[in-house]
Amino acid sequence: MAKISPEFEENMPAEVIFPVSADVSFASNHFPKYKLGPDNQILDEPKEDNKGPSLMEVVERETSQLSEQHKRLSVRDIASKFDKNLSAAAKLADEAKLREVASLEGHVLLKKLRDALESLRGRMAGRHKEDVEKAISMVEALAVKLTQKEGELIQEKFEVKKLANFLKQASEDAKKLVNQEKSFACAEIESARGVVQRFGEALEEEERISENSKNQAPVVQELIEEVQEGRRIKLMHQPTKMVDMEYELRALRTQIREKSVFSVKLQRELAICKRDEENKSRLYMLDGSETLGSCLRLRPCSDRSPLLSKCSVQWYRISTEGSQKELIAGVNKSAYAPEPFDVGRMLQAEIISNGQKVTVTTAGPIDPAAGLGSYVETLLRKSHSEFNVVISQVNGQDHPSHSVHVFNVGKMRIKLCRGWITKAREIYSMSMQLCGLRVDSNAAAKQLFWQARKGLSYVLTFDSERERNAAIIVARKYAQDFNVMLGGADDQSIEDN
Protein backbone atom coordinates (compact mmCIF):
# COMPACT_ATOMS: atom_id res chain seq x y z
CA MET A 1 0.00 0.00 0.00
CA ALA A 2 1.25 3.55 -0.78
CA LYS A 3 2.49 5.58 2.13
CA ILE A 4 0.44 8.61 3.09
CA SER A 5 2.31 11.78 4.11
CA PRO A 6 1.74 13.44 7.54
CA GLU A 7 0.55 16.68 5.99
CA PHE A 8 -2.26 14.85 4.29
CA GLU A 9 -3.36 13.34 7.56
CA GLU A 10 -3.47 16.73 9.29
CA ASN A 11 -5.44 18.49 6.51
CA MET A 12 -7.92 15.58 5.91
CA PRO A 13 -11.32 16.24 7.43
CA ALA A 14 -12.60 13.77 9.95
CA GLU A 15 -15.81 13.05 8.09
CA VAL A 16 -13.96 11.85 4.97
CA ILE A 17 -13.04 8.43 6.46
CA PHE A 18 -16.09 6.20 6.70
CA PRO A 19 -16.06 3.68 9.45
CA VAL A 20 -16.08 0.01 8.51
CA SER A 21 -19.23 -1.88 9.34
CA ALA A 22 -19.11 -3.71 12.66
CA ASP A 23 -20.53 -6.92 11.19
CA VAL A 24 -17.39 -7.54 9.10
CA SER A 25 -15.13 -10.29 10.47
CA PHE A 26 -11.44 -9.96 9.64
CA ALA A 27 -9.15 -12.89 9.22
CA SER A 28 -6.47 -11.08 11.26
CA ASN A 29 -6.10 -7.94 13.36
CA HIS A 30 -3.71 -6.13 10.96
CA PHE A 31 -3.39 -5.42 7.23
CA PRO A 32 -1.14 -7.60 5.16
CA LYS A 33 2.34 -6.30 4.52
CA TYR A 34 3.47 -5.52 0.96
CA LYS A 35 6.64 -4.09 -0.61
CA LEU A 36 6.80 -1.53 -3.44
CA GLY A 37 9.07 -2.31 -6.36
CA PRO A 38 10.05 -0.20 -9.37
CA ASP A 39 7.25 2.07 -10.67
CA ASN A 40 5.41 1.55 -7.38
CA GLN A 41 4.51 -2.10 -8.20
CA ILE A 42 3.28 -4.23 -5.34
CA LEU A 43 5.54 -7.16 -4.48
CA ASP A 44 4.36 -9.96 -2.25
CA GLU A 45 6.62 -10.77 0.62
CA PRO A 46 7.70 -14.41 0.78
CA LYS A 47 5.59 -16.28 3.27
CA GLU A 48 6.91 -18.87 5.57
CA ASP A 49 5.10 -22.09 4.96
CA ASN A 50 4.86 -23.84 8.28
CA LYS A 51 2.32 -26.39 7.08
CA GLY A 52 4.71 -28.51 5.01
CA PRO A 53 4.12 -29.64 1.40
CA SER A 54 0.97 -28.76 -0.54
CA LEU A 55 -2.13 -30.93 -0.83
CA MET A 56 -1.36 -32.11 -4.36
CA GLU A 57 2.16 -33.19 -3.37
CA VAL A 58 0.79 -35.14 -0.41
CA VAL A 59 -1.80 -36.88 -2.62
CA GLU A 60 0.78 -37.74 -5.31
CA ARG A 61 3.24 -39.07 -2.76
CA GLU A 62 0.63 -41.22 -1.01
CA THR A 63 -0.67 -42.56 -4.34
CA SER A 64 2.83 -43.54 -5.48
CA GLN A 65 3.54 -45.25 -2.16
CA LEU A 66 0.27 -47.19 -2.37
CA SER A 67 0.98 -48.31 -5.92
CA GLU A 68 4.50 -49.44 -4.94
CA GLN A 69 3.29 -51.35 -1.88
CA HIS A 70 0.22 -52.90 -3.57
CA LYS A 71 2.05 -56.05 -4.61
CA ARG A 72 3.61 -56.82 -1.23
CA LEU A 73 0.85 -55.72 1.15
CA SER A 74 -1.81 -58.14 2.31
CA VAL A 75 -5.49 -57.58 1.79
CA ARG A 76 -6.00 -56.54 5.42
CA ASP A 77 -3.10 -54.00 5.22
CA ILE A 78 -4.54 -52.52 2.02
CA ALA A 79 -7.94 -52.13 3.67
CA SER A 80 -6.44 -50.39 6.72
CA LYS A 81 -4.34 -48.14 4.46
CA PHE A 82 -7.40 -47.17 2.43
CA ASP A 83 -9.27 -46.36 5.64
CA LYS A 84 -6.41 -44.09 6.81
CA ASN A 85 -6.28 -42.30 3.45
CA LEU A 86 -10.04 -41.93 3.49
CA SER A 87 -9.90 -40.21 6.90
CA ALA A 88 -7.05 -38.00 5.65
CA ALA A 89 -9.10 -37.04 2.61
CA ALA A 90 -12.02 -36.16 4.88
CA LYS A 91 -9.75 -33.90 6.96
CA LEU A 92 -8.46 -32.21 3.79
CA ALA A 93 -12.03 -31.63 2.68
CA ASP A 94 -12.80 -29.97 6.01
CA GLU A 95 -9.73 -27.75 5.67
CA ALA A 96 -10.84 -26.80 2.15
CA LYS A 97 -14.20 -25.73 3.55
CA LEU A 98 -12.45 -23.54 6.13
CA ARG A 99 -10.33 -21.98 3.39
CA GLU A 100 -13.45 -21.30 1.37
CA VAL A 101 -14.96 -19.42 4.34
CA ALA A 102 -11.76 -17.39 4.79
CA SER A 103 -11.75 -16.58 1.06
CA LEU A 104 -15.32 -15.32 1.30
CA GLU A 105 -14.34 -13.07 4.20
CA GLY A 106 -11.38 -11.76 2.13
CA HIS A 107 -13.71 -10.79 -0.72
CA VAL A 108 -15.94 -8.91 1.67
CA LEU A 109 -12.96 -7.07 3.17
CA LEU A 110 -11.53 -6.10 -0.23
CA LYS A 111 -14.91 -4.80 -1.36
CA LYS A 112 -15.25 -2.66 1.77
CA LEU A 113 -11.70 -1.32 1.28
CA ARG A 114 -12.25 -0.52 -2.39
CA ASP A 115 -15.48 1.32 -1.59
CA ALA A 116 -13.63 3.40 1.03
CA LEU A 117 -10.82 4.25 -1.44
CA GLU A 118 -13.35 5.18 -4.13
CA SER A 119 -14.94 7.62 -1.73
CA LEU A 120 -11.49 9.08 -0.92
CA ARG A 121 -10.53 9.41 -4.59
CA GLY A 122 -13.42 11.75 -5.19
CA ARG A 123 -12.30 14.03 -2.41
CA MET A 124 -8.56 14.10 -3.17
CA ALA A 125 -6.55 16.03 -5.77
CA GLY A 126 -3.06 16.01 -7.11
CA ARG A 127 -0.54 13.50 -5.90
CA HIS A 128 -2.77 12.20 -3.16
CA LYS A 129 -5.39 11.31 -5.72
CA GLU A 130 -2.81 9.34 -7.70
CA ASP A 131 -1.81 7.51 -4.51
CA VAL A 132 -5.43 6.64 -3.90
CA GLU A 133 -5.81 5.33 -7.49
CA LYS A 134 -2.70 3.20 -7.04
CA ALA A 135 -4.16 1.82 -3.83
CA ILE A 136 -7.40 1.00 -5.70
CA SER A 137 -5.41 -0.80 -8.43
CA MET A 138 -3.55 -2.71 -5.73
CA VAL A 139 -6.88 -3.75 -4.19
CA GLU A 140 -8.14 -4.92 -7.59
CA ALA A 141 -4.93 -6.89 -8.13
CA LEU A 142 -5.46 -8.53 -4.75
CA ALA A 143 -9.02 -9.41 -5.75
CA VAL A 144 -7.75 -11.03 -8.96
CA LYS A 145 -5.17 -13.05 -7.05
CA LEU A 146 -7.81 -14.05 -4.53
CA THR A 147 -10.05 -15.24 -7.39
CA GLN A 148 -7.17 -17.27 -8.81
CA LYS A 149 -6.55 -18.80 -5.41
CA GLU A 150 -10.25 -19.67 -5.21
CA GLY A 151 -10.05 -21.39 -8.61
CA GLU A 152 -7.08 -23.43 -7.46
CA LEU A 153 -8.93 -24.21 -4.24
CA ILE A 154 -11.98 -25.43 -6.18
CA GLN A 155 -9.76 -27.62 -8.36
CA GLU A 156 -8.03 -29.03 -5.30
CA LYS A 157 -11.43 -29.62 -3.68
CA PHE A 158 -12.62 -31.51 -6.78
CA GLU A 159 -9.45 -33.62 -6.79
CA VAL A 160 -9.79 -34.31 -3.07
CA LYS A 161 -13.44 -35.32 -3.49
CA LYS A 162 -12.56 -37.58 -6.41
CA LEU A 163 -9.74 -39.14 -4.44
CA ALA A 164 -12.01 -39.59 -1.41
CA ASN A 165 -14.61 -41.40 -3.54
CA PHE A 166 -11.90 -43.58 -5.04
CA LEU A 167 -10.48 -44.39 -1.61
CA LYS A 168 -13.97 -45.10 -0.25
CA GLN A 169 -14.75 -47.52 -3.08
CA ALA A 170 -11.34 -49.11 -2.71
CA SER A 171 -11.89 -49.47 1.04
CA GLU A 172 -15.24 -51.20 0.46
CA ASP A 173 -13.66 -53.53 -2.11
CA ALA A 174 -10.86 -54.31 0.30
CA LYS A 175 -13.36 -55.09 3.07
CA LYS A 176 -15.24 -57.39 0.71
CA LEU A 177 -12.00 -59.15 -0.18
CA VAL A 178 -11.14 -59.49 3.50
CA ASN A 179 -14.55 -60.99 4.29
CA GLN A 180 -14.33 -63.31 1.30
CA GLU A 181 -10.86 -64.52 2.23
CA LYS A 182 -12.02 -64.93 5.82
CA SER A 183 -14.99 -67.07 4.74
CA PHE A 184 -12.73 -69.16 2.47
CA ALA A 185 -10.29 -69.63 5.34
CA CYS A 186 -13.12 -70.64 7.72
CA ALA A 187 -14.43 -73.14 5.17
CA GLU A 188 -10.97 -74.63 4.69
CA ILE A 189 -10.52 -74.83 8.46
CA GLU A 190 -13.89 -76.60 8.88
CA SER A 191 -13.06 -79.00 6.05
CA ALA A 192 -9.67 -79.77 7.54
CA ARG A 193 -11.28 -80.22 10.95
CA GLY A 194 -13.81 -82.68 9.47
CA VAL A 195 -11.03 -84.63 7.73
CA VAL A 196 -9.06 -84.81 10.97
CA GLN A 197 -12.17 -85.98 12.84
CA ARG A 198 -12.86 -88.69 10.25
CA PHE A 199 -9.26 -89.85 10.43
CA GLY A 200 -9.54 -89.98 14.22
CA GLU A 201 -12.75 -92.01 14.06
CA ALA A 202 -11.21 -94.38 11.51
CA LEU A 203 -8.17 -94.89 13.73
CA GLU A 204 -10.38 -95.55 16.77
CA GLU A 205 -12.47 -98.03 14.77
CA GLU A 206 -9.35 -99.79 13.54
CA GLU A 207 -7.98 -100.01 17.09
CA ARG A 208 -11.30 -101.38 18.34
CA ILE A 209 -11.44 -103.97 15.56
CA SER A 210 -7.89 -105.00 16.24
CA GLU A 211 -8.65 -105.41 19.96
CA ASN A 212 -11.80 -107.45 19.19
CA SER A 213 -9.90 -109.64 16.77
CA LYS A 214 -7.23 -110.23 19.41
CA ASN A 215 -9.89 -111.17 21.95
CA GLN A 216 -11.75 -113.46 19.53
CA ALA A 217 -8.70 -115.16 18.13
CA PRO A 218 -8.48 -117.79 20.93
CA VAL A 219 -12.22 -118.57 20.66
CA VAL A 220 -12.01 -119.02 16.88
CA GLN A 221 -8.99 -121.22 17.27
CA GLU A 222 -10.85 -123.41 19.78
CA LEU A 223 -13.83 -123.74 17.43
CA ILE A 224 -11.57 -124.75 14.55
CA GLU A 225 -9.96 -127.36 16.70
CA GLU A 226 -13.37 -128.74 17.79
CA VAL A 227 -14.58 -128.95 14.16
CA GLN A 228 -11.44 -130.75 13.14
CA GLU A 229 -11.84 -133.16 16.05
CA GLY A 230 -15.47 -133.82 15.09
CA ARG A 231 -14.48 -134.54 11.50
CA ARG A 232 -11.79 -136.90 12.68
CA ILE A 233 -14.24 -138.79 14.92
CA LYS A 234 -16.80 -139.00 12.09
CA LEU A 235 -14.22 -140.47 9.72
CA MET A 236 -13.16 -143.01 12.32
CA HIS A 237 -16.72 -144.32 12.95
CA GLN A 238 -17.83 -145.91 9.64
CA PRO A 239 -18.72 -142.95 7.40
CA THR A 240 -20.67 -145.18 4.97
CA LYS A 241 -23.32 -145.92 7.64
CA MET A 242 -23.84 -142.20 8.21
CA VAL A 243 -24.54 -141.69 4.51
CA ASP A 244 -26.97 -144.62 4.51
CA MET A 245 -28.83 -143.16 7.47
CA GLU A 246 -29.19 -139.83 5.69
CA TYR A 247 -30.72 -141.54 2.66
CA GLU A 248 -33.14 -143.45 4.87
CA LEU A 249 -34.23 -140.21 6.57
CA ARG A 250 -34.92 -138.57 3.21
CA ALA A 251 -37.00 -141.55 2.11
CA LEU A 252 -39.00 -141.46 5.37
CA ARG A 253 -39.70 -137.71 4.93
CA THR A 254 -40.96 -138.38 1.39
CA GLN A 255 -43.27 -141.13 2.59
CA ILE A 256 -44.64 -138.99 5.44
CA ARG A 257 -45.39 -136.17 3.00
CA GLU A 258 -47.25 -138.54 0.67
CA LYS A 259 -49.25 -139.99 3.59
CA SER A 260 -50.26 -136.49 4.76
CA VAL A 261 -51.46 -135.52 1.27
CA PHE A 262 -53.47 -138.75 1.05
CA SER A 263 -54.94 -138.09 4.51
CA VAL A 264 -56.09 -134.60 3.48
CA LYS A 265 -57.79 -136.06 0.42
CA LEU A 266 -59.57 -138.65 2.55
CA GLN A 267 -60.75 -135.95 4.98
CA ARG A 268 -62.14 -133.87 2.13
CA GLU A 269 -63.97 -136.88 0.66
CA LEU A 270 -65.37 -137.70 4.10
CA ALA A 271 -66.60 -134.14 4.56
CA ILE A 272 -68.28 -134.28 1.16
CA CYS A 273 -69.98 -137.57 2.05
CA LYS A 274 -71.21 -136.14 5.37
CA ARG A 275 -72.57 -133.07 3.65
CA ASP A 276 -74.41 -135.21 1.08
CA GLU A 277 -75.97 -137.26 3.86
CA GLU A 278 -76.99 -134.11 5.72
CA ASN A 279 -78.43 -132.60 2.54
CA LYS A 280 -80.57 -135.69 2.09
CA SER A 281 -82.17 -135.06 5.45
CA ARG A 282 -82.40 -131.29 4.85
CA LEU A 283 -85.04 -129.51 2.82
CA TYR A 284 -82.83 -126.67 1.50
CA MET A 285 -79.16 -125.88 0.97
CA LEU A 286 -77.04 -122.87 -0.07
CA ASP A 287 -75.58 -122.91 -3.52
CA GLY A 288 -72.64 -120.64 -4.36
CA SER A 289 -69.18 -119.66 -3.16
CA GLU A 290 -68.99 -118.26 0.35
CA THR A 291 -66.78 -115.34 -0.65
CA LEU A 292 -67.29 -111.63 -1.26
CA GLY A 293 -68.27 -111.05 -4.87
CA SER A 294 -70.38 -114.18 -5.25
CA CYS A 295 -74.13 -114.76 -4.96
CA LEU A 296 -75.68 -117.28 -2.53
CA ARG A 297 -78.94 -118.97 -3.57
CA LEU A 298 -81.31 -121.26 -1.71
CA ARG A 299 -81.91 -124.57 -3.49
CA PRO A 300 -84.37 -127.36 -2.54
CA CYS A 301 -82.72 -130.67 -1.62
CA SER A 302 -85.67 -133.03 -2.05
CA ASP A 303 -89.01 -133.32 -3.76
CA ARG A 304 -90.87 -132.83 -0.49
CA SER A 305 -89.36 -129.34 -0.03
CA PRO A 306 -92.02 -126.59 -0.36
CA LEU A 307 -91.62 -124.14 -3.20
CA LEU A 308 -89.57 -121.12 -2.20
CA SER A 309 -92.02 -118.81 -3.94
CA LYS A 310 -94.66 -119.89 -1.42
CA CYS A 311 -92.35 -119.48 1.60
CA SER A 312 -91.22 -116.40 3.51
CA VAL A 313 -87.41 -115.96 3.63
CA GLN A 314 -85.29 -113.73 5.85
CA TRP A 315 -81.50 -113.45 5.90
CA TYR A 316 -79.34 -112.77 8.99
CA ARG A 317 -75.74 -112.02 9.87
CA ILE A 318 -74.27 -114.18 12.62
CA SER A 319 -70.98 -113.61 14.41
CA THR A 320 -68.42 -116.40 14.32
CA GLU A 321 -69.12 -117.20 17.98
CA GLY A 322 -72.85 -117.36 17.27
CA SER A 323 -73.68 -114.97 20.10
CA GLN A 324 -74.96 -112.10 17.93
CA LYS A 325 -77.62 -112.35 15.26
CA GLU A 326 -78.52 -109.34 13.12
CA LEU A 327 -81.36 -109.05 10.66
CA ILE A 328 -80.53 -107.81 7.16
CA ALA A 329 -83.44 -105.56 6.23
CA GLY A 330 -84.78 -105.95 2.71
CA VAL A 331 -83.14 -109.33 2.07
CA ASN A 332 -86.19 -111.59 1.90
CA LYS A 333 -85.61 -113.40 -1.37
CA SER A 334 -84.05 -116.74 -2.20
CA ALA A 335 -80.77 -115.12 -3.36
CA TYR A 336 -78.39 -112.70 -1.67
CA ALA A 337 -75.06 -111.23 -2.82
CA PRO A 338 -72.76 -110.64 0.21
CA GLU A 339 -71.34 -107.13 0.69
CA PRO A 340 -68.28 -105.86 2.65
CA PHE A 341 -70.28 -105.79 5.92
CA ASP A 342 -70.64 -109.58 5.69
CA VAL A 343 -66.91 -110.38 5.52
CA GLY A 344 -65.84 -112.33 8.60
CA ARG A 345 -69.44 -113.25 9.53
CA MET A 346 -71.65 -116.21 8.74
CA LEU A 347 -74.94 -115.84 6.88
CA GLN A 348 -78.15 -117.63 7.81
CA ALA A 349 -81.44 -117.85 5.92
CA GLU A 350 -84.72 -118.63 7.73
CA ILE A 351 -87.44 -120.26 5.60
CA ILE A 352 -90.94 -120.34 7.06
CA SER A 353 -93.66 -122.44 5.44
CA ASN A 354 -96.99 -123.46 7.03
CA GLY A 355 -95.68 -122.46 10.45
CA GLN A 356 -92.59 -124.63 10.04
CA LYS A 357 -89.19 -122.83 10.20
CA VAL A 358 -86.08 -124.16 8.51
CA THR A 359 -82.65 -122.48 8.87
CA VAL A 360 -79.75 -122.78 6.45
CA THR A 361 -76.32 -121.42 7.52
CA THR A 362 -73.06 -121.03 5.64
CA ALA A 363 -70.31 -123.50 6.52
CA GLY A 364 -68.02 -120.67 7.68
CA PRO A 365 -67.58 -116.90 7.63
CA ILE A 366 -67.63 -115.02 4.33
CA ASP A 367 -64.11 -114.75 2.94
CA PRO A 368 -62.76 -111.49 1.44
CA ALA A 369 -62.27 -111.26 -2.31
CA ALA A 370 -58.76 -111.90 -3.60
CA GLY A 371 -56.88 -108.69 -4.49
CA LEU A 372 -59.65 -106.40 -3.25
CA GLY A 373 -57.59 -104.99 -0.36
CA SER A 374 -54.70 -103.79 -2.55
CA TYR A 375 -57.16 -102.36 -5.09
CA VAL A 376 -58.91 -100.34 -2.35
CA GLU A 377 -55.56 -99.06 -1.02
CA THR A 378 -54.70 -97.81 -4.51
CA LEU A 379 -58.03 -95.98 -4.76
CA LEU A 380 -57.64 -94.38 -1.32
CA ARG A 381 -54.38 -92.74 -2.40
CA LYS A 382 -56.37 -90.58 -4.85
CA SER A 383 -58.60 -87.62 -4.02
CA HIS A 384 -61.55 -89.30 -5.74
CA SER A 385 -62.40 -92.55 -7.54
CA GLU A 386 -64.48 -92.95 -10.69
CA PHE A 387 -66.47 -96.03 -11.75
CA ASN A 388 -68.46 -96.69 -14.92
CA VAL A 389 -72.04 -97.66 -14.06
CA VAL A 390 -75.42 -98.15 -15.68
CA ILE A 391 -78.56 -96.85 -13.96
CA SER A 392 -80.94 -99.80 -13.51
CA GLN A 393 -83.60 -98.16 -11.32
CA VAL A 394 -84.53 -94.66 -10.16
CA ASN A 395 -86.74 -94.43 -7.05
CA GLY A 396 -87.68 -98.11 -7.43
CA GLN A 397 -88.72 -97.78 -11.09
CA ASP A 398 -86.83 -99.41 -13.95
CA HIS A 399 -84.71 -97.00 -15.93
CA PRO A 400 -85.15 -97.48 -19.69
CA SER A 401 -81.82 -95.97 -20.74
CA HIS A 402 -78.74 -98.17 -20.60
CA SER A 403 -76.20 -95.40 -21.19
CA VAL A 404 -72.95 -95.43 -19.24
CA HIS A 405 -72.64 -92.94 -16.37
CA VAL A 406 -69.75 -92.08 -14.05
CA PHE A 407 -70.10 -92.77 -10.33
CA ASN A 408 -67.59 -90.42 -8.65
CA VAL A 409 -66.72 -91.20 -4.99
CA GLY A 410 -64.81 -88.30 -3.45
CA LYS A 411 -63.59 -87.33 -0.01
CA MET A 412 -66.35 -84.72 0.39
CA ARG A 413 -69.26 -85.96 -1.71
CA ILE A 414 -70.61 -88.59 -4.12
CA LYS A 415 -71.57 -87.55 -7.64
CA LEU A 416 -73.40 -89.34 -10.45
CA CYS A 417 -73.01 -87.74 -13.87
CA ARG A 418 -72.93 -88.37 -17.59
CA GLY A 419 -70.49 -86.06 -19.36
CA TRP A 420 -71.36 -82.50 -18.33
CA ILE A 421 -74.80 -83.50 -17.04
CA THR A 422 -74.96 -84.17 -13.29
CA LYS A 423 -77.69 -86.52 -12.16
CA ALA A 424 -77.00 -86.22 -8.43
CA ARG A 425 -74.32 -84.69 -6.23
CA GLU A 426 -74.62 -84.98 -2.47
CA ILE A 427 -72.25 -84.59 0.47
CA TYR A 428 -72.06 -87.32 3.12
CA SER A 429 -74.97 -87.02 5.55
CA MET A 430 -77.06 -89.18 7.88
CA SER A 431 -79.84 -89.43 5.30
CA MET A 432 -77.53 -91.05 2.72
CA GLN A 433 -77.53 -94.86 2.33
CA LEU A 434 -75.13 -97.03 0.36
CA CYS A 435 -75.12 -100.84 0.33
CA GLY A 436 -75.29 -103.86 -1.93
CA LEU A 437 -78.53 -104.64 -3.74
CA ARG A 438 -80.83 -106.62 -1.41
CA VAL A 439 -83.28 -108.06 -3.92
CA ASP A 440 -83.20 -111.17 -6.07
CA SER A 441 -81.41 -110.28 -9.29
CA ASN A 442 -79.20 -112.08 -11.74
CA ALA A 443 -76.57 -109.30 -11.45
CA ALA A 444 -77.01 -108.64 -7.71
CA ALA A 445 -73.28 -109.13 -7.08
CA LYS A 446 -72.54 -106.20 -9.44
CA GLN A 447 -75.35 -103.90 -8.31
CA LEU A 448 -75.42 -101.23 -5.63
CA PHE A 449 -78.23 -99.33 -3.91
CA TRP A 450 -77.58 -95.61 -3.34
CA GLN A 451 -80.00 -93.28 -1.59
CA ALA A 452 -78.56 -89.82 -2.28
CA ARG A 453 -81.18 -88.11 -0.12
CA LYS A 454 -84.70 -88.73 0.98
CA GLY A 455 -86.90 -89.13 -2.08
CA LEU A 456 -84.03 -89.89 -4.50
CA SER A 457 -82.49 -93.37 -4.83
CA TYR A 458 -80.68 -95.31 -7.56
CA VAL A 459 -79.75 -98.91 -8.34
CA LEU A 460 -76.41 -98.87 -10.17
CA THR A 461 -74.83 -101.76 -12.07
CA PHE A 462 -71.01 -101.86 -12.17
CA ASP A 463 -68.72 -103.52 -14.69
CA SER A 464 -67.49 -106.12 -12.15
CA GLU A 465 -68.06 -107.36 -8.63
CA ARG A 466 -64.67 -105.99 -7.52
CA GLU A 467 -65.54 -102.41 -8.57
CA ARG A 468 -68.93 -102.60 -6.81
CA ASN A 469 -67.39 -103.78 -3.52
CA ALA A 470 -64.47 -101.32 -3.80
CA ALA A 471 -66.90 -98.40 -4.31
CA ILE A 472 -68.80 -99.40 -1.15
CA ILE A 473 -65.62 -99.68 0.95
CA VAL A 474 -64.11 -96.40 -0.31
CA ALA A 475 -67.34 -94.44 0.22
CA ARG A 476 -67.68 -95.78 3.77
CA LYS A 477 -64.06 -94.88 4.56
CA TYR A 478 -64.58 -91.27 3.41
CA ALA A 479 -67.95 -91.01 5.20
CA GLN A 480 -66.33 -91.98 8.51
CA ASP A 481 -64.39 -88.69 8.44
CA PHE A 482 -67.78 -86.92 8.72
CA ASN A 483 -69.02 -89.31 11.46
CA VAL A 484 -71.46 -90.84 8.96
CA MET A 485 -72.00 -94.59 8.70
CA LEU A 486 -73.07 -95.56 5.21
CA GLY A 487 -75.13 -98.72 4.95
CA GLY A 488 -78.66 -99.98 4.57
CA ALA A 489 -81.57 -99.20 6.84
CA ASP A 490 -80.31 -101.69 9.46
CA ASP A 491 -76.60 -100.95 9.15
CA GLN A 492 -76.44 -97.55 10.86
CA SER A 493 -75.22 -98.99 14.14
CA ILE A 494 -72.83 -101.60 12.72
CA GLU A 495 -69.09 -100.88 12.74
CA ASP A 496 -67.26 -101.11 9.43
CA ASN A 497 -65.04 -104.13 9.25
What is the tens place of the pLDDT at every residue in 144-203? 787 787 778 788 778 877 877 887 787 788 778 878 888 887 887 787 777 778 877 888
Q: Report whether pLDDT(461) > 50.
A: yes
Instruction: State mean pLDDT over 301-327.
Output: 83
Instruction: Provide the β-strand partners of residue 347.
Output: 317
Q: Report whether pLDDT(392) > 70.
A: yes
Which amino acid, one-letter code, is at 376? V
Rg of the chain, C-alpha, whole Å: 59
Q: How far is CA 47 from the centre of its chain?
A: 76
In angstroms, rounded to a whole number, what is the distance separating the alpha carbons of residues 274 and 145? 140
**Phi and psi of 8, rounded to 5°?**
-65, -35
Q: Provide the percentage of residues in the chain whose pLDDT is more than 70.
A: 69
Who wins on pLDDT, 252 or 196? 252
In angstroms, rounded to a whole number, what is the distance separating the alpha carbons of residues 107 and 119? 18
Question: pLDDT by residue (tens digit) across 98-126?
Answer: 665 555 566 677 677 777 777 766 666 66
Who wins on pLDDT, 86 or 368? 368
Q: How many CB atoms lie within 10 A of CB 52?
A: 7
Question: pLDDT by residue (tens digit) across 17-65?
Answer: 444 444 444 444 445 555 556 665 655 555 544 555 665 676 667 676 6
Domains of the chain: 90-209 (1.20.5.440), 282-361 (2.60.40.2700), 372-481 (2.30.29.140)
